Amino acid sequence: MDSHTYPVTRTDAEWRARLTPEQYAVMRNHGTERPGSCALLHEKRAGTFSCAGCDQPLFESKLKFESGTGWPSFNDPVPGSVETTVDRSYGMVRTECHCARCGSHLGHVFEDGPPPTGLRYCINGVALKFEPAA
């Protein structure tokens, strides 16, 4: 993780107790789930996708779209919920996105999304929890 201090902090043991092994690998070690492996990829109900690490609301379902990549994709996050950093891993330069509240790795954002933003927030489904609208 970076040296930035987040409003929600936990020890490594606390993160391991809170997250499944797959969530821990993705969210705390910048991993990636297998494409098409998460049920949230197919979630189409109205509601909110929140951080599995700290419950911060991240994305509204109305901004979710089918990108064909195998990961849940969104046009835009809830304002102030997601921060970005430059990711130079694997010989590429990408924009990583992480939870602004706890710093957990969520995925990456690309400039190949549909209007109106032209952005595609490509998010690991295991990093998310879904709460249907009431």
Q: Is 122 a catalytic residue?
A: yes
For the entire predicted model, the pTM comes to: 0.93
Mean pLDDT, the chain, rounded, equals: 94
**51: closest CA among 108, 125, 133?**
125
pLDDT, tens digit, 9 for 90 and up, residues 59-114: 999 999 999 999 999 999 999 999 999 988 888 899 999 999 999 999 999 999 99
Torsion of CA 117, 121, 127, 132, to 10 degrees: 40
Under CATH, which architecture does the 52-133 domain have? Beta Complex (2.170)
User: Of 38, 97, 102, 122, which one is the catalytic site residue?
Assistant: 122
Domain coordinates of the chain in residue numbers? 52-133
DSSP 8-state code for residue 47: E
- Return the SS3 of 99: strand
pLDDT, tens digit, 9 for 90 and up, residues 12-28: 999 999 999 999 999 99
